[in-house]
Structure 1
Amino acid sequence: MASSKREKELARQRAERQAARRAAAAARRKQRNAVLASVLAVVLVAGAVIGLALAAQSGGDDELAAPDPEASAEPSPDASPLPPGSCLYTPTADPASKPAPLPPAEDVEDEQAFTATLTTSQGPIVLELDSAAAPCTVNSFVSLAQAGFFADTPCHRLLTGESTSILQCGDPTGTGTGGPGYQFADENLDGATYPRGTLAMANAGPGTNGSQFFLVFGDSMFPPDYTPFGTITAGLDVLDKVAAGGTTGIAPTLPVQVISVEVAPQAG
């Protein structure tokens, strides 16, 4: 009888110990899961913050140098081959931000190099325009410059990231949505890169080039989506000064106003 009671007591104690162990294990699992959930939440929040920071800096690779996404992109110009020396400039639904005639579309120069001098409120910037690589782009830029389209216009966007270092100009409205009232196809994109000193077109998508362009003052890792059409031969120190001043929103804190753009053919 005593033996039976002893066995029952031992069994009860074993059951209590097992129950206690199970309860302790459950508590440990609950605590571990709570810790993991907290860590995961921190990781997710950190990832979101990093993503927002990158987005705030660059707007995403596809829009780094594009006009404001709110600007409606028209259908791309006809991509069918054009006769040599010809370009296609297609009027857009949005009117020109300043008076601007369509550039000449025939007998477009593809051998003559041009020098463009931007007189800005922060100092002069000299560009060499490459007609051989991007004849229709250079033809448009020269036409707009000669028409006074760029005169008294702001450079409205400054990016100073490690791989996105540009000053964007060419919009008379200063909003990122302005243009010349026409658009044209991309050029010179095969293997395009954007090292320091590059001059390239901004756009809102394929075939939507207009008047906005950007000046690269630091090696930039853009996809080959933006037509390079020249180089900066003088004035990188001006851009470095503007970049060092930082931004207010997306605009440079040191205001950059394009006072005039003078274009001249290069000799030879």
Structure 2
Amino acid sequence: MATNQMRREAAKRKLASQQERRAEQAKRRKQIAVITSAVVVVVVVVGVVLLSTLGGSSSDTTSAAADTTAPAAAGTAPEQIPTEITPVPARPTALPASVSCEYPADGQAAKPAQAPPAADVSTQGTAGVTLQTNTGAIPMTLDRALAPCTVNSFVSLAQQGYFDDTSCHRLTTSPGLQVLQCGDPTGSGSGGPGYSFADETFPELTYGRGLLAMANAGPDTNGSQFFMIYGDAQLPADYTVFGSISPEGLQVVDEIARVGHDGSLDPSPGGGKPAQPVTIESATVS
């Protein structure tokens, strides 16, 4: 028969076992919390870097200089490309019939270019621009009511031949950001026309398949780089949307995307040069 002493010893052992088990559970919960926090921090940092460097910077030059003939690395082609085309957004408040723009000098031009006239810039109607590339024609419609100063600059650069014989230097294929970026004659991601202009954005802006937007390196740093959205684009309203891509043009971009990229810009800012090199042979305004 168990004595009181024996029962006390058994109770002590049970209590010690329970305390040890609780301590181990608390330790595991702490480890899980630390790991989860670390994952969240990494995701947030990657997202911030991805968005803040979309317009390119001098730090992109080295990583973007990889061999453009390199085959697509595993996993660089998009797993899925959405088929639904996103409607062109509209401003919540219409602009007056004409506006004044500013195009201050900003660094050295990657290719000779003049800033466009800045006074009495129309906000009416659209302009057609076709990018004739080595992979096919990409017709686009630019919307003056949406971004008059941007359209004014883009049309001027196209008419000056600024985009002719230039490469599209960045392709991204990850879920959440599927774009083809062009407009830098240096092909490094850091070149511009020698001037800049302000963002033409508003809080309601959203992005998606078929839209055309300006790349930038921060607020009001627009120049010549732009990106064509062929799929998802989960971006903040920091990038000026100034037009749309035709369905036929999207088919061309889709084929480029399906070949993938060379990974030269991974992990930051993401993506790389198209594995199938893309050259804008000419940009024609209609």
Within the candidate set 216, 221, 243, 2:257 is matched to: 243
TM-score by length of 1: 0.78
Distance change in 2, residues 1:69/1:44 (3 Å)? farther
TM-score by length of 2: 0.73
Q: Counterpart amino acid of 1:29?
A: R
Q: Counterpart amino acid of 1:243?
A: A
Instruction: After TM superposition, give the deviation of residue 11 of structure 1 in Å.
Output: 4.5
Instruction: After TM superposition, give the deviation of residue 253 of structure 1 in Å.
Output: 1.7
Indicate the residue corresponding to 2:13 in structure 1.
Answer: 20
Instruction: After TM superposition, give the deviation of residue 205 of structure 1 in Å.
Output: 2.2
RMSD between aligned residues: 2.9
Deviations 1:78-113 (CA, angstroms, capped at 9, x unpaired):
xxx999443211111x21111111111234343353
Q: Structure 1 stretch 235-244 or stretch 82-91: which is displaced more?
A: 82-91
Identical-residue share of aligned pairs (%)? 44
Indicate the residue corresponding to 1:125 in structure 2.
Answer: 138
Distance change in 2, residues 1:222/1:44 (3 Å)? closer
Aligned length: 242
Distance change in 2, residues 1:113/1:11 (3 Å)? closer
Indicate the residue corresponding to 2:211 in structure 1.
Answer: 198
Instruction: After TM superposition, give the deviation of residue 168 of structure 1 in Å.
Output: 0.9
1:61–1:223 contact (8 Å) kept in structure 2: no
Indicate the residue corresponding to 1:258 in structure 2.
Answer: 280
Indicate the residue corresponding to 2:79 in structure 1.
Answer: none
Which protein shows a greater Rg? 1
Matched, 1:153 2:146: no
Within the candidate set 232, 238, 243, 2:245 is matched to: 232
Matched, 1:66 2:66: no
Instruction: After TM superposition, give the deviation of residue 212 of structure 1 in Å.
Output: 0.7
Following the alignment from structure 1 to structure 2, what is the Cα–Cα distance between the partners of residues 17 and 40?
Answer: 35
Identify unmatched segments of 5+ residues in structure 1: 1-8, 72-80
Q: Structure 1 stretch 129-138 or stretch 33-42: which is displaced more?
A: 33-42
Matched, 1:30 2:23: yes
Pick 1 or 2: higher relative contact order, CA cutoff 8 A, min separation 6.
2
Following the alignment from structure 1 to structure 2, what is the Cα–Cα distance between the partners of residues 152 and 232?
Answer: 20
Following the alignment from structure 1 to structure 2, what is the Cα–Cα distance between the partners of residues 91 and 21?
Answer: 78
Instruction: After TM superposition, give the deviation of residue 178 of structure 1 in Å.
Output: 1.1
